Amino acid sequence: MPITAERIETIANGIGQAKILILGDIMIDEYLFGTVNRISPEAPVPVVEITSSNLLLGGAANVAANIRSLGDEPILIGTVGEDEASVKLAQLMKDKGISSDFFVNDPSRQTTIKTRIIAHSQQVVRADRENQHELDEQTQQNVFKRFMSVIDDIGAVIISDYGKGVITKQLLERVIDACLDKDVFVAVDPKETHFHNYQKVSVITPNHDEAGFAYGRRIRSEKDLMEVGNGLLKKLQATSILITRGPDGMSLFRKNAEVTHIPTFARQVYDVTGAGDTVIASFVAATCAGADLVEAAIVANAGAGVTVGEIGTASVTLPKLKEELKFNVRNGNLKKAALEAS
Q: First vs last Cα of the chain: how many Å apart? A: 7
Q: What percent of the chain has pLDDT over 90?
A: 76
Q: Decide: 40 and 46 in contact? Cβ < 8 Å.
A: yes
Q: Considering the candidates 29, 161, 271, 277, report the single residue annotated as catalytic.
A: 277
Least confident of 70-79, 82-91, 285-294, 325-334: 325-334
The residue among 299 and 328 whose pLDDT is bigger is 299
Q: Is 47 left (phi over 0), alpha (psi -120 to 50) or beta?
A: beta
pTM score: 0.91
**What is the pLDDT, as a whole number, of residue 314?**
62
Single-letter amino acid code for the residue at 133: H
| pLDDT average, residue stretch 13-40 | 96
| pLDDT average, residue stretch 178-204 | 94
Measured distance CA(190)–CA(238) in Å, rounded: 13
**What is the pLDDT, as a whole number, of residue 339?**
47
**What is the pLDDT, as a whole number, of residue 126?**
96
- The angle at the Cα of 107, spanning 104 to 108, to the nearest 5 degrees, equals 110
Q: Decide: 150 and 75 in contact? Cβ < 8 Å.
A: yes
Measured distance CA(307)–CA(15) in Å, rounded: 18
pLDDT digits (tens, 9 = 90+) for 283-311: 999 999 999 999 999 999 888 888 765 54
**What is the pLDDT, as a whole number, of residue 270?**
43
pLDDT digits (tens, 9 = 90+) for 108-137: 999 999 999 999 989 999 999 999 999 999
Residues 6+ apart with CB under 8 A from 145: none
Edge-to-edge strand ranges of the sheet holding 250-254: 103-105, 73-80, 19-24, 156-160, 185-189, 203-204, 240-244, 250-254, 260-262
Measured distance CA(125)–CA(100) in Å, rounded: 30
CA distances from 290 to 133, 286, 302 (A): 38, 7, 17
**What is the pLDDT, as a whole number, of residue 269?**
45
Which of 331, 214, 285, 286 has its CA nearest to residue 67?
285
**What is the pLDDT, as a whole number, of residue 5?**
77
Is residue 277 flagged as an active site residue? yes
* DSSP H helical ranges for the chain: 5-14, 60-69, 84-95, 137-150, 169-182, 208-215, 222-236, 275-288, 293-307, 318-330, 333-341
Which of 202, 135, 194 has its CA nearest to residue 163?
194
- The angle at the Cα of 82, spanning 79 to 88, to the nearest 5 degrees, equals 85
162 phi/psi in degrees, rounded to 5 = -105, 10
Name all domains of the chain by residue range, CATH numbers in brackets. 5-27+58-105+132-341 (3.40.1190.20)
